[in-house]
Structure 1
């Protein structure tokens, strides 16, 4: 910049002259070419348009939502550690899950139904055998006995109705953390005190436990055998009814009809067990896995709890300071410890609030523990 005027910016005593500086600045501006006239326009005049507004700072809780759950994860581990200290040392504890409890009750109903029906068929067969012997002419008993001892089919059919006992859709509801909150806590609880917790109520319940399923199959085969004997005795009575006359014929025909209705009921029950299938479609298979779990947890204390896990992520964007991320978490736990018969032993509630952690998104300025396992 060429000076054409000599403006005294500093006074003789060395102090800064505001008036002199303003006069100098005005002359400097007036001495430049028009705005945008040449490519040598100095940076002073390369100003943004007036329509551009500066970036305003904002708080966003969605962009890094999953990151806040890391703090909630740590809180779940802390709560599990504290709860382990309250569980007794001399007895095991099982986690209460409504779906699993319903499954155990349904499995016991299936087992009871098999045994009850088998006993009823044994009584029916005994009564029919006595009726057959009473109405069988002399000299034909040997042929009848041979018929009754004929081997019955061992094939079990597949059906549908009884499977409704196990179609119970129950899912653990968590707030903020989601369905995994309960599973996370029970897993951490088992990790912290594996010697105290034995049954988690969900997950693997004994699908590979062959002994229990084999026992159920043996019971079903015994029921099928009773069913086969009943069918043969019904056939024998039907032949006697064909040979009889008058009131005897009507009486035997009525017994054949009544026994046939019983036979259809037994067939429907055996079909509904779906003994040849696995998974949720087979009540017999489900009964085996739930009965296995019930046997493992018999006599244990029962832990019932509710849990809320929430992670908070706060992102601040600023034009001058950049983006900053702070993470925090909140956990609430309330639990009850029961005897198997329902008696309450312990009840309490806990809460934890994680101190906010500021995370440098470049990964340079944060506590190293945050980027570790969280334990």
Structure 2
């Protein structure tokens, strides 16, 4: 009886062991099948999986948007730092050079007209002493005739500056930040800004332009009278002989040289062209800009903007874009006479924001913090 019971128990344990072995084999087979299915879905062994790389080349312009926001913040802060009751003009080398050139051309026209009037009187006195027969010729130093050409050359050199166009070449990434800041400054406190430098300088003030034309016409009148006296002097030289002939010819030659320099200066102004190709036209425009900014503080600024786009891409998590930006501003505030009132360096750095690149699956808002 006991032997039968032991045999039955041994058979039951053997059956249980066989059942466990079959279950283990089934589980192993299922695991191998799942592993084979997973391997079939993965890339081939010879390919390299994406391992969370960082890429900054494709979204630099998008990152610049963050930097632009920082530039606008700096413009608002700088507006609060300007002295109360004063306006400021943004310093621009081309505009400053244009104003200096315009004032020099304006004064050169007045000086040349006065100088030519004086030379006309001197040459007329010289001619008067030569007409009466037997009278001795009054000496006319050639240095008197050589005084005006130096003034003419100086004016012509300055007028040449106004013929140079200020052009902007193709702007690469990160450049043009100063112009952007000028617009942001004008947007933040337009009542505190009297001028932004080059660009649109306003409509031409025709009253000012007519005044310049009047000075040019006065110079032309003196030039015509001078040419007439030179012609009379040349006629006298043709009829003279000996040393007198040499003296008259030398005086006429010096006067002609002066006349040519005056003609070159007048031609360089291109008074017949009402366009940016005419230095006289630009003189009127820069004189107007100088009058509008007279007495204003001079704000000299420079700005560095950098935008950063970081793309994180992973095989399992997909692609993620984060944008950030950096803005560094340094400025100096001067009185018109050059005295320094204030100077500082400001910086801003934007906290990175994440942009969802899943297209239609993204939420309605473009930005997601």
Task: Tell me how far 1:241 sits from its aligned partner.
Answer: 2.5
> Any conservation in 1 of the 2:109–2:216 contact (CA below 8 Å)?
yes
Give secondary structure in 1 for the equivalent of 2:258: helix
- Equivalent residues in 2 for 1:249-328, closer than 5 Å: 249-328=245-324
1:183 aligns to 2:185 (yes or no): no
Measured against aligned partners, the alpha-carbon deviations of 1:88-147 in whole angstroms (never above 9, x if no partner) come to 221111001111111212222222222222122111111111122222359xxxxxxxxx
The alignment yields a C-alpha RMSD, in angstroms, of 3.3
Q: Distance in 1 between matches of 2:132 and 2:361?
A: 101
> Any conservation in 1 of the 2:88–2:193 contact (CA below 8 Å)?
yes
> Any conservation in 2 of the 1:175–1:310 contact (CA below 8 Å)?
no
CA 1:117–1:79: 2 relative to 1, 3 Å? same
Give the structure 1 partner of residue 110 of structure 2. 115
> Any conservation in 1 of the 2:160–2:268 contact (CA below 8 Å)?
no
CA 1:240–1:29: 2 relative to 1, 3 Å? closer
Give secondary structure in 2 for the equivalent of 1:110: helix
1:56 aligns to 2:51 (yes or no): yes
1:99 to 74, 94, 99: 94
Give secondary structure in 2 for the equivalent of 1:57: strand
1:332 to 325, 328, 332: 328
> Any conservation in 2 of the 1:310–1:330 contact (CA below 8 Å)?
yes
CA 1:21–1:183: 2 relative to 1, 3 Å? farther
Give the structure 1 partner of residue 352 of structure 2. 356
1:231 aligns to 2:233 (yes or no): no
User: Higher helix share goes to which structure?
Assistant: 2
Q: Distance in 1 between matches of 2:242 and 2:96?
A: 56
Q: Distance in 2 between matches of 1:369 and 1:49?
A: 36
Q: Distance in 1 between matches of 2:187 and 2:274?
A: 31
- Equivalent residues in 2 for 1:211-222, closer than 5 Å: 211-222=207-218
1:133 aligns to 2:125 (yes or no): no
CA 1:309–1:264: 2 relative to 1, 3 Å? same
Task: Tell me how far 1:300 sits from its aligned partner.
Answer: 0.6
Q: Distance in 2 between matches of 1:342 and 1:172?
A: 31
How many residues are matched? 325
How does the TM-score come out when normalised to structure 2?
Answer: 0.78
Task: Tell me how far 1:343 sits from its aligned partner.
Answer: 0.7
Task: Tell me how far 1:283 sits from its aligned partner.
Answer: 2.0
Give secondary structure in 1 for the equivalent of 2:273: coil
| Alignment gaps of 5+ in structure 2 | 1-15, 134-155
The farther-off stretch of 61-70 and 129-138 is: 129-138
Task: Tell me how far 1:189 sits from its aligned partner.
Answer: 0.8
Give secondary structure in 2 for the equivalent of 1:281: coil
Give the structure 2 partner of residue 206 of structure 1. 202
Give the structure 2 partner of residue 5 of structure 1. none
Task: Tell me how far 1:359 sits from its aligned partner.
Answer: 0.8
How does the TM-score come out when normalised to structure 1?
Answer: 0.77
Measured against aligned partners, the alpha-carbon deviations of 1:299-340 in whole angstroms (never above 9, x if no partner) come to 110111111111111111111111111111111111111100
> Any conservation in 2 of the 1:175–1:308 contact (CA below 8 Å)?
no
CA 1:193–1:207: 2 relative to 1, 3 Å? same
> Any conservation in 2 of the 1:314–1:325 contact (CA below 8 Å)?
yes
Q: Distance in 2 between matches of 1:191 and 1:243?
A: 74
> Any conservation in 2 of the 1:110–1:287 contact (CA below 8 Å)?
yes
| Alignment gaps of 5+ in structure 1 | 1-10, 33-41, 139-159
> Any conservation in 2 of the 1:99–1:170 contact (CA below 8 Å)?
no
CA 1:184–1:75: 2 relative to 1, 3 Å? same
The farther-off stretch of 199-208 and 247-256 is: 247-256
Q: Distance in 2 between matches of 1:78 and 1:53?
A: 44
2:238 to 228, 237, 242: 242
> Any conservation in 2 of the 1:325–1:358 contact (CA below 8 Å)?
yes
Task: Tell me how far 1:176 sits from its aligned partner.
Answer: 4.8
Runs of 4+ in 1 over 6 A off after TM superposition: 170-175
